[in-house]
Structure 1
Amino acid sequence: MTGQDIKNRQAANEKQRRDLDATLNRLSHLRLITAILLVLGLVAYLRQDLLVGAGLAGIMLVAFVALVYRFGKIQKEIAGLSRVSGVLKRYEDRLVDAWQDLPETGDQYKSKDNTLSTDLDIFGKGSLFQYLSVTHSASGSDALARLLTKPDLNHIADRQASVRELLADDDWAIRFEALAYEPKATKRNREKAAEQKLKAYARGENVETIDQANLIGLGLPLALVVTIGMALAGLVSYLIPLAVFFMQMALAITLAGPVNKYKETVLVFQTRLEGLNERFQMLLDSPFESAYLRQMKADLAQAPEGVAALNRLVGLWNLRENFLLYFLLCGCLAWDFNMIARIDRWRRQYGENFVRWLDWVGEVEALSSLCTVGRLRPNAGQAEILETDVPSLEMTAATHPLLAPATAVANDYRQSGETTIITGSNMSGKSTFMRTIGLNAVLAYAGGYVCADRFAISPMRIFTSMRVTDDVGEGISTFYGEILRIKKMADYAGQRRPMLVLIDEIFKGTNSADRIIGAEAAIKKLSQPWIMTLVTTHDFELCDLVEDAGVNGRNMHFQEHYEGDQIRFDYTIRPGRCQTTNAKHLMRMAGLLDAQDAKGADQDVL
């Protein structure tokens, strides 16, 4: 979708909303007129004009009910159009590089054990998750987080086929997302929490059942009927059925704790059920051809039936929200106990399948999220997954997925199972280049669209050491944190399985002498034919490692040029080692050095 496409859709959407608002206004006037005529009919009836009054009142009552129904239906349509407008606005924000305020940041998935989550900006504000996400359910967020960090590398092609199908129809995607979109953060969070609770209940986890709920639900109402009959027959006092009535009320009050847990679990999720059923129907009606989505359709065959049954139970339970009605229902029909018994029966019949249905919807949300790059960037394509055990990467015109396309600089690059040492001045593009490779690899393995004209990569496990900081709580310094990360890489290397290793400013947390010694040892350890290693550094001494017989390596670099006092970068990677530095020039620009002190080209240090 282009910006103009979104504007056209928004304009059409707004026109439809205005038309419905006008219809709603007319219906409001008609409701008032029918209500007045209904009253006039009742007045005529009371004045003994029975035929005219009854006829007019009857016709107006039917008309009033029909108008109320139509009014409610149009209100739902307007609400749906508002959600569509919200979804379109989110796409527009991505196009104009204003997406960093979208609410789904994925912060909850950050982990100390998953270095990719922070090193590659996969989660958090300004992250890949935030840019991609069209998920509006807890299941969808979980699925997207899994695909970005722990994808099954044996089924990439299946996911790619599914993503291609979901990308084909913009209207379908917008409608599917809009059915679950909720702009209010408080309500959105409550619904997601309720979804998790309902899934746990459906699985039978932490279910606080009420013993003998079935017996109470059947026995006490029956006892009330019997005692009322006996009282009418003069066999017992009317105080007996009255006592049974209040016994039911007392039990409901006594067991209010577990009853309210059922209520919170089911009723909070009720606003999602109607939209959920529509989403199931959309998935079932779509002529998917990929094996993965066809399996999804087969598993969802009974979903509308199961959700409709739950929706009916929610509707019945909602009756208890009217205090007077609840008083009568509880006292006469042991309503809470009958509802709990019915919901428990629903869980036994549909619970296990219900969890799977929600997970499938979440999976489709996640796969739809992987369409985002392809939907908004015309030159994006899916990666070519190379079927080889040898680490391989070939990319043409690849850019950083989180940078605005208008400003992102594209790079061509090729590497196999070797070590590349990348040098370059401060701000020349080394770290961005590393993340360009890492993030596009993440998208490729997930099955999504990548930001490149061509991106061919073999399956590899990704390891990073980029944003390493100290951990005061654990007593770990930055340097030791780097050691731990690289040790983890070295340990995994012992398995001789394909690896992609990205190390930014190796061992920057210690002095230059120790840094060089440690870096040389680490690079030699990671220089293996099954490992594709990229290391950035300011230590030019490391460039000499490519001459070492134990290192299959090469040097690459980024460079800058000067226009007057201004530093200019082209952010393009080139063969060979860097020959220039800019640290002193930057310090002079900041006023920390005078012009005389800044002369020369000493080695750049962090």
Structure 2
Amino acid sequence: MRLKQKTEIIPDYDQKIKQVTADIAKTKKIIDQLSLIRIGLFLTEILFFVLLLRSADDSLRTLIQICLLLPVIAFAFVVRRQSQLDREIDYKKQLLWIYQNEWNILNGAANGYDHGKAFESELHPYTSDLDIFGASSLFALINRCSTKSGNKLLAKNFAEKSTREKILRRQEAIKEIRDKIAETYSFRANLHGYDPDKIEQIKIQLKHQLGAQLEFVKGSFLRFYVKMVPYVSIVLILAALLISGAFWKVLALLVVIHIGWNVLLGSKINKVFYSFGGSSNLLNGYASAILWTENQNWKSSYTLDLLDSKIPVSKEIKGLTKIIENFDARLNIIVGGVLNALLLWDLKCCINLDIWYKSSSKDVISALDHLGDFEELISLATTAYNQPDWVFPVLSDGFSLSGIQIGHPLINENLRVSNDFHLEAKPTVDIVTGSNMAGKSTFLRTLGINMVLAYAGAPVCAETMQLSVFSINTYMRIKDSLNESTSTFKAELNRLKMILDNVVKDKDTFVLIDEMLRGTNSRDKYLGSKVFIQKLIAEKTPALFATHDLQLADLIIDHSETVRNFHFDIQITAGEMKFDYLLKLGPCKTFNAAILLKEIGLTLD
């Protein structure tokens, strides 16, 4: 499959939006026409009824009686067709939302999916500092998950260390889905628009509760009687009509017994029903999504492992949906009352549910869980499709990190400045100096956030990138906490201890630090930073260390093999500052504090 160029993608979404909008309008027009037909059939039924009242007792009357059935039958077909079209419109509205959302994201608007605020944690080694979760985050840019399991899985793959083997398998799966991205929109539309808590409730019900709740229908006599009761009711009705009116009394007694039986078991029936009631549309949508996963000719081993059922699970869910649709008949007091009185309808539905549960529930639970896996892969594959200039990084066995034109994925491409960066063959601590606002912090976050993307199996915002698997640790946004009576300095010490502990536990740690020990005096800040860098050197831990303290750049004198200096500078023309945001070798020589202070009326000698 030829990947679309960036200039083709937005117009393609434009076209899809126009097409679906036109389809919705066309379908609505048909529904309006069917509504008029329903009114016509209703009026026709009234007309036949009037004719029946005025007709004599002859063959014409018999014909009119037959004709009375025709509008009713036609009305039933029209209602059924209208219901199908209503569901079709609901689906197309979700599909329109999907296309519109992609168009919005590519044009700089917010993603309509969850932005992952629930996963934020300042205690995590890097997610808070690198803007992984929350508003305007990586998660907010990438996420295309409607289910809770999909959101959790995407968050997990952004927040936990992986292995090279798993990353490579995920890359293969994401590339495969990217190449069939046009087919994923229907999958997403079938899952979007439903309450994610409802499906979680159903999964919990299937896993832990339903078996015990259905114990009351396991008796052999009850099952036999419920199976036979339709025949008993039909025989009694026919006997009453054709033989003797006495059979009406027997039927009435039977109805009273049935109603009493339903009342007696009502609390148990309700417990089963209210776990599933009204969820037939949701399950139909999920069944369609699962059917999509079953019908694809998957090649990647990672995706094939998600299809662990030997039978079509979509059919099993359709079977559950049919039972629930039948069960929903009890919501109509008149229909439900008649069905329970004559057929013990609720008990029949519970028995059918128990039969289904024994044969199909395990496969369905697994398939529902795996929907989140597909959503998570589709999220990353959609980003790969929408950003054809991004590349899948090369995962190295040995110590490695290098990239050409690495850019920050959360910065608009028209404003983004990209940089090259390469580690040496052995670990070094790279000290990055420079002026305020020159780009030090952004560069550290650029490197870190692209590493997170790489380890999730996703493409990175770069021209090329090669890296080995590191545990990322960061020290950037350190805040005090009034609730925990923690000063800024204490919070900084806690963060440093966490990093040091992780460095000792995991020799593949990579550290990103932005201006260490802000909460203490300049002398202690320098000495503390110096000993921390020396500790990282001793542990052979690679690090980028952004600082305003030029003295730290002198560490290269005593550690020429393990310390490197980089900087971001400014150009001053006619007293005005200009930033190019480009990483350069060596320590910084130009700073902007004096110029900024002068702008507010303070002059340094």
The equivalent of 1:4 in structure 2 is 11
The amino acid across from 1:88 in the alignment is Y
Shift of 1:508: 1.8
Cα displacement string for residues 476-499 of structure 1 (whole angstroms, at most 9, x for unaligned residues): 332222222222222232245312
Are 2:238 and 1:248 equivalent residues in the alignment? Answer: no
1: CA distance, partners of 2:148 / 2:597? 48
Shift of 1:71: 2.3
The equivalent of 2:213 in structure 1 is 209
Conservation of the 8 A alpha-carbon contact between 2:113 and 2:146: no
The equivalent of 1:294 in structure 2 is 304
Cα displacement string for residues 457-484 of structure 1 (whole angstroms, at most 9, x for unaligned residues): 1111111122221233333332222222
Please point out which of 193, 200, 203 is paired with 1:199.
203
Shift of 1:213: 4.3
Conservation of the 8 A alpha-carbon contact between 1:524 and 1:550: no
Are 2:155 and 1:141 equivalent residues in the alignment? Answer: no
Change (3 A) 1:328 1:509: farther
Q: Which moved more, 1:83-92 or 1:318-327?
A: 318-327
Shift of 1:530: 5.2
Are 2:36 and 1:32 equivalent residues in the alignment? Answer: no
The equivalent of 1:579 in structure 2 is 589
Are 2:79 and 1:71 equivalent residues in the alignment? Answer: no
% identical equivalent positions: 25
Conservation of the 8 A alpha-carbon contact between 2:256 and 2:341: no
The equivalent of 1:82 in structure 2 is 93
Change (3 A) 1:217 1:469: farther
Cα displacement string for residues 147-197 of structure 1 (whole angstroms, at most 9, x for unaligned residues): 111253231111111111111133212222111121xxxxx5xx2112222
The amino acid across from 2:201 in the alignment is K
Please point out which of 261, 277, 282 is paired with 2:292.
282
Change (3 A) 1:582 1:270: farther
Aligned pairs (5 A) from 1:388-467: 388=398, 390=399, 392-416=400-424, 417-467=427-477
Shift of 1:204: 1.6
The amino acid across from 1:512 in the alignment is S
Change (3 A) 1:25 1:426: same
Change (3 A) 1:39 1:241: closer
The amino acid across from 2:423 in the alignment is Q
Cα displacement string for residues 281-331 of structure 1 (whole angstroms, at most 9, x for unaligned residues): 111111121112223335374311321222122112211211234445556
Are 2:526 and 1:516 equivalent residues in the alignment? Answer: yes
Are 2:508 and 1:498 equivalent residues in the alignment? Answer: yes
Change (3 A) 1:104 1:11: same
The equivalent of 1:482 in structure 2 is 492
Aligned pairs (5 A) from 1:312-351: 312-329=322-339, 339-340=349-350, 342-351=352-361
Conservation of the 8 A alpha-carbon contact between 1:17 and 1:81: yes
2: CA distance, partners of 1:338 / 1:528? 73
2: CA distance, partners of 1:408 / 1:398? 10
Cα displacement string for residues 16-56 of structure 1 (whole angstroms, at most 9, x for unaligned residues): 22222333333333333344334434444552524653565
SS in 1 for 2:420: strand
Conservation of the 8 A alpha-carbon contact between 2:214 and 2:272: no
The equivalent of 1:603 in structure 2 is none
The amino acid across from 1:31 in the alignment is R
Change (3 A) 1:488 1:70: same
The amino acid across from 2:261 in the alignment is Q
Root-mean-square deviation (Å): 3.2
Change (3 A) 1:265 1:105: farther
Conservation of the 8 A alpha-carbon contact between 1:463 and 1:502: yes
Aligned pairs (5 A) from 1:487-566: 487-495=497-505, 497-527=507-537, 531-549=541-559, 552-566=562-576
The amino acid across from 2:290 in the alignment is F
SS in 2 for 1:296: coil
Conservation of the 8 A alpha-carbon contact between 1:382 and 1:450: yes
Shift of 1:259: 5.1
**How many pairs are equivalent?**
580
Conservation of the 8 A alpha-carbon contact between 2:259 and 2:340: no
Conservation of the 8 A alpha-carbon contact between 1:425 and 1:558: yes
Change (3 A) 1:503 1:160: same
2: CA distance, partners of 1:95 / 1:587? 39
Shift of 1:551: 7.0
SS in 1 for 2:133: coil
The amino acid across from 1:576 in the alignment is G
1: CA distance, partners of 2:41 / 2:216? 50
Change (3 A) 1:371 1:566: farther
Shift of 1:400: 0.8
1: CA distance, partners of 2:90 / 2:417? 41
2: CA distance, partners of 1:478 / 1:208? 54
The equivalent of 1:170 in structure 2 is 181
SS in 1 for 2:548: coil
Change (3 A) 1:57 1:220: closer
Cα displacement string for residues 556-576 of structure 1 (whole angstroms, at most 9, x for unaligned residues): 111122344543211111111
2: CA distance, partners of 1:273 / 1:222? 27
1: CA distance, partners of 2:371 / 2:229? 45
Conservation of the 8 A alpha-carbon contact between 1:424 and 1:430: yes
SS in 1 for 2:323: helix
SS in 2 for 1:382: coil
Conservation of the 8 A alpha-carbon contact between 1:194 and 1:264: no
SS in 2 for 1:99: coil
Change (3 A) 1:262 1:396: farther
Cα displacement string for residues 415-442 of structure 1 (whole angstroms, at most 9, x for unaligned residues): 1421111111111111111111111111
The equivalent of 2:241 in structure 1 is none
2: CA distance, partners of 1:445 / 1:20? 45
Conservation of the 8 A alpha-carbon contact between 2:504 and 2:539: no
The amino acid across from 1:290 in the alignment is S
SS in 2 for 1:501: strand
SS in 1 for 2:218: helix
Aligned pairs (5 A) from 1:143-158: 143-150=153-160, 152-153=162-163, 154-158=165-169
Shift of 1:408: 1.0
SS in 1 for 2:474: strand
Change (3 A) 1:201 1:516: same
Change (3 A) 1:212 1:64: closer
Conservation of the 8 A alpha-carbon contact between 1:214 and 1:337: no
1: CA distance, partners of 2:210 / 2:357? 13
The amino acid across from 1:411 in the alignment is N
TM-score (norm 2): 0.87
Please point out which of 343, 365, 368 is paired with 1:355.
365
2: CA distance, partners of 1:81 / 1:248? 44
Structure 1, unaligned stretches of length 5 or more? 183-187, 601-606
